[in-house]
Chain A
Amino acid sequence: MIPYMNALDLSQESKERKKLINDVIVNKILNRREGEHGTEILVSFNIDTVGEFQALHPEMPLFPPFDRHCQPSASERDTIVIIAQRHGRMIGCLGARLKYVRRIDEDLRSMKFLYEDYRTQAPYGEVCMVPSGAGSQIKFVSVALGGSGWVEGTERGHHLYSDMAKLLFILEHTRPGWDWTYQAALLSEKNMSRFACHPSGMRDFVGPIIYKLLPGQSVDERIYFLASRHREQADADTIRAEIADEETRINFPTSDEIDAQRARLWSSPPRLRIAQ
């Protein structure tokens, strides 16, 4: 793991963006974190860091795209992990993966999106059901996927998660080689306010994704949502001075917004296709 300032690379950005990102956004957030609260923000490009964090915090669910066992070919070229550390103890983790999808709905159904080798890596009997149209606009592109975010209970409520997400977004947008078209997040009911996309992503919020449904599990208990937005939208939302404001929310959509979306989508019986 290396200090955030060592990982930040704005060498390919315009002069104006360098000033804005380096001098305003990153400066303010790091000062807030490391100056006032003594929390170091570190960066790793190794997916195993997520596993190490999860080993310290077993209560954190390990999302398959960030699990080495499910992603044996993950490399430093397609992985960014932000770690918050206080007095040598890792207290927060947030990851991003760069994944190439043929069609995100098909890759979800086949579960290639989650497991590089579905037949050997996925639990026996697990299926992923995707309603028609969900994410169908995301095809043949690289997707920046966020996930495996978790903060110790005692550290919540101080914008730590929000700041980690902002710093992660900046690395996603500026790191050479991270060329992607869509930013995506899979939100579970239990994890809906931790990490997500801006409300602008709700426009692409086509429907609920139900996946990892094991025999005997209830569909209602296993609902996940796919939130996505174009890179341009994500960039305009992320690279702006206000993002350094402590009050700026990034944990969209909120529970209420998810509920509203669910109510709209589930007002009529969903048409689900079960993966073969």
Chain B
Amino acid sequence: MTHITFHDRLATALRRRLFPNTGLQIKQVAGAIGQDGRNLSRWINGESKPFAEVIEELGRFFASRGDNSFIAECYGIETTPDLTGLRASIEKVLGRLPEPAPVLALTKLWFVDGKCVPSGAGHDQQVRIMMGLSQHVGGDLRASYCRNRGAVALEARHGGAVTIWHHATGADAESLTACRDWLAKHSADITTVRRLLQIEDTEATVDHEDAASAIAALDRLAHPQREATLPLKVDRLSLDECPAYIGRILKVHSESPEQVIPAAHDLGLMGMASILTVRGTAVTNDYLGPNIRFDRSDILGRNVLDRKESIYGATVYARAQEVRRSGPILTRITGRAYEQPLDYLSTMVPAGNSQILAIPHELEVA
């Protein structure tokens, strides 16, 4: 085994740091430590050795250039590289660069009991994992878990489009809040939010142009106004129980649905009526009679499932879908909404062009 002396290590350490291995010339180093260049050449070639204080000078010189390992190399001490200076330099350079635009990665999550559960394998598969459910069990497990556990599912795509699934009225407040918090945390990266709400046997769509709007909607659902939590009851009644003037509207509908709204106008019913428009799975309220004493800002032009009175909006949506399926319906609505007690009959009639005319009438007590 070859014995490596101090002189060997000194010569190697100097060579590594000088031309042609680096751009540093012998004259530069010699000048910096007050030595003659020929002396350095002799040390490199092993012809002579420097005094200890000169080695110290060399160590200080290299350290000033960010190289702290010269002395350790000369004495054969193994050191881990000190990257403090390098890190500081990199951070300094990075600090001058503009902030990179954050990009929302493809993300699938469940919010259950207020906790966020990553669902990389998909929402259905994660339900199987959380429930310990057999692979044989079929069905729409995402819809089932939203409906039967009050959970909220979320999918974010590259580019910032977020889709959220939850039950229109049965979503758990803790889960809604957890989802809302996630939206708030990533709001800068979110471009659009689409909520797909389960209501009865249908799936309704509510589109939000930004995260803030979706956050507000989830807030309303998670913390409904006290009055709105009072139970709303909707009972389907026979159309035979409609008053005579509604009967005339129903007759017009059976002959020409497009004439329903003009007929209601002729009968002077539009002051209390409203018009709903069904666009795909979204239902918006496009007309509200001036005599209806509800908060107009919460109703006009808005998706009925995006109202502050979310539960009342859900009942409107469900009735509108029923009208689409089976034609005119008469219902009795009791409960409380818009800070007032409700007890009225409502006839909803298809009016052509995806429109539905809703005519509330006073409850006639026998």
Contacts and interface: CB of A to CB of B under 8 A. Distances in A.
A15 B176 CA distance: 14
B136 interface: yes
A31 B133 contact: yes
Contacts of B141: 5
Contact of A31 (B134, B149, B167): B134
Interface string B113-153: 00000000000000000011111111111011101111000
A27 B148 contact: no
B140 A6 contact: yes
Chain B binding surface SS class: loop
Q: Interface size bucket, B side?
A: 20 to 34
B174 to A, nearest CB: 9
A120 interface: no
Interface string B149-181: 110000000000000000101101000000000
A21 interface: yes
Contact of A23 (B139, B147, B149, B169): B149
Given A2-B139, A5-B141, A10 B134 contact: no
A35 interface: yes
Contacts of A27: 131-133
Contact of B131 (A2, A23, A34, A38): A23
A31 B132 contact: yes
Contact of B149 (A2, A19, A35, A38): A19
Nearest to A36: B134
Contacts of A12: 170
A34 B147 contact: no
B138 A3 contact: yes
A4 B172 CA distance: 22
Given A27-B133, A31-B132, A31-B134, A3 B139 contact: yes
A40 B138 CA distance: 8
Interface of A: 2-6, 8-12, 15, 18-19, 21-23, 27, 30-31, 34-35, 38, 40, 176
19 contacts: A2-B139, A5-B137, A6-B139, A6-B144, A8-B144, A9-B148, A10-B170, A11-B167, A12-B170, A18-B148, A19-B149, A22-B145, A22-B148, A31-B134, A34-B134, A34-B137, A38-B136, A40-B136, A176-B200
Given A8-B148, A34-B134, 17 more contacts: A3-B138, A5-B139, A5-B140, A6-B140, A6-B144, A9-B147, A10-B147, A10-B148, A11-B148, A15-B150, A18-B148, A19-B149, A22-B144, A27-B133, A31-B134, A34-B136, A35-B135
